[in-house]
Amino acid sequence: MDNNGLYSYHCYFRANEAKNWNFGGFVSYIKSQGEPEDEHVNLWLSSLESISEDKQLPYFCRRRAKSLLNDSKKRSKINKSTRQVHETPAPSTSLISIIISPRIQNSNNIFIQNIWDRLNKKLKNNSKYRSILDHILDLDLLEEANLISMEEFNMLKSHFPSMNLYVEPVILNDINDVFDVFKNREAYDAAEIYQIIEEKQVSKKLEIKTLKDQQTTYIFKTLQQFLRKFRQGDFFARKMSELKFIAEILSQVMDILTSIDGTHTNWDLASAASKFSKCQNSKTNSGGNRPDFVVQTYAGYELFALEVAGGPTQNDQTKMENDSTKIGRQMQNGLNYIFMREANMGRPMPANLQIFGASTRKFEIQFKKMTRVGNYVLMKNVFVAEIPTNIVEYPKLKDLIGKLITISNLVDSSLKILQRNSEAITTSPRSYIPIPCQRSPQNNKSKITNNNRKNERQ
């Protein structure tokens, strides 16, 4: 069935075939996604009414919605809470009796589990797809290899919360205004342009009271940092270690992520989330992995992580592949840690939460997003940003700055979701079952000797 026309409706309706729509499944879906349950009856009825009247949708969708709507209105039980429904069992043919049995799984979980089971059986011995064994579904990797259908790809993609990938007009105007300095020039003199930018920055009398203020300041500082490197002529052509790449380039590129109020950032800090995962998997005390860069809340929740795959002039394909896998695991650990802590504090599961990560490949930065559905996490590419290596490539720098500002806004949105969740009415603390253990086979892990470990950052 084609559910494309249902994208404007609650994701339950596009995640299930029309013939399988039912109130019990709808309530179960809301619970699994951590959405507020107090308005589920009204949401169910209003959604059915809208779908039944939407002539842009296939006839069988409208007919099914109309039938469910009429049936729901006839049943007074539907106006009771889900708890009351549990206490008053209905006949097996009842529209809402399906939610009485705790053995009934959410249809979305079943759909994703069926995909994972198929892929795991086929690819469990293929090191290229070892993320499957970690219960991570990398949508782009699977779609590129034709391992999932376009229908499955779109269905999985629909579970990601919507997000704005566009720079706000005010900030976009600032970017264009700063980069206008490159217009109508026959040659680019880095020293001259640097002086012009510095004078323009002083004239603006920039403040840093808000994130937008800091984003504007970031535009100037990042361009100035690259102009200083461009003045050196062959800076980017020289052999560059990972440490030098971080210190000279990436620290400024990522600087905007240090400006998000309510978070703090660290370079090369042991991860509490990965330590938690290791302790869960091995049942023994263990240290955490050390992402190259992380943005975390004051509660220790990781909202963004970066893995740097060596210096950009190096060509270590093995490290690039390992770090690409590593960032997926780090993001998975971050999500798992958030859900575990929130459950332990009696809070609802954060709805519409996604976190972000990135890994480098020479002079490229691949940004990813991740969300959780049941016992699985879905990962998808957001975009790729390129680091310019000479002043002629200034359009790449302009694009890079815009994308980092976009990521900072997305991370800030995830932070606000967690802040709202912390204000929710708490229940009794409850245990939480983490995402199944990461279990890539030992022979697929990179075998790095002690000497190699010392040389990784050189």
Annotate 305-333 with DSSP letters as a single string.
EEE--S-TT---HHHHHHHHHHHHHHHHH
Quick: pLDDT tens for 408-455: 999 999 999 999 988 877 776 665 555 554 544 333 444 334 444 444
435 and 287, same domain (yes or no): yes
User: What whole-number distance in Å separates Cα of residue 5 and Cα of residue 279?
Assistant: 45
Shared-domain flag, residues 185 and 317: yes
Residues 82 and 177 in one domain: no
In the listed set 81, 104, 127, which residue is the last one of a domain according to the structure? Answer: 104
- Residue 37 forms part of a structural domain: yes
In a domain, 139, yes or no: no
Does this model's pTM top 0.75? My answer is: no
Last residue of a domain, one of 104, 139, 154: 104
Say whether both 387 and 257 belong to one domain: yes
123 within domain boundaries: no
- The answer to the question of residue 62 being in a domain is yes
Task: Clarify whether residues 429 and 325 are in a common domain.
Answer: yes
Q: Which residues constitute the domain of residue 325?
A: 169-455
Please check whether residues 339 and 242 belong to one and the same domain: yes
Mark whether 331 and 435 lie in a shared domain. Answer: yes
In contact, 154 and 4? CB cutoff 8 Å = yes
Residue 143 lies in a domain: no
Whether 232 and 359 share a structural domain: yes
Q: What is the pLDDT of residues 444-453, one digit of tens each?
A: 444 334 444 4
In a domain, 150, yes or no: no
Number of domains into which the chain is organized:
2
Of 85-94, 227-236, 284-293, least confident by mean pLDDT is 85-94
89 and 220 in one domain? Answer: no
d(CA 268, CA 253) in angstroms, rounded, equals 16
Structural domain ending residue among the three candidates 59, 81, 104: 104
- Report yes or no: 56 and 73 within 8 Å, Cβ to Cβ: no
| Contact of 41 with 30, CB cutoff 8 Å | no
**Does 100 share its domain with 173?**
no
Q: Is residue 148 part of a domain?
A: no
Q: Are residues 348 and 228 in the same domain?
A: yes
On whether both 94 and 232 belong to a single domain, the answer is: no
243 within a domain of the structure (yes/no): yes
Scored b (16 or more CB within 10 A) or e, 42-62 reads ebbbebbebbbebeebeeebb
Q: Which two tokens stand for residue 144?
A: 């590129």
Instruction: Enumerate the H helices of 16-145 as residue ranges.
Output: 23-32, 40-53, 59-74, 82-87, 107-123, 139-144
CA distance 99 to 86: 7
Q: Are the C-beta atoms of 407 and 265 separated by less than 8 Å?
A: no
Q: Order the strands of the 302-307 sheet from edge to edge.
A: 136-138, 376-386, 364-373, 355-361, 302-307, 293-297, 263-267
Each residue's pLDDT tens digit, 148-181: 999 899 989 989 988 888 888 999 999 999 999 9
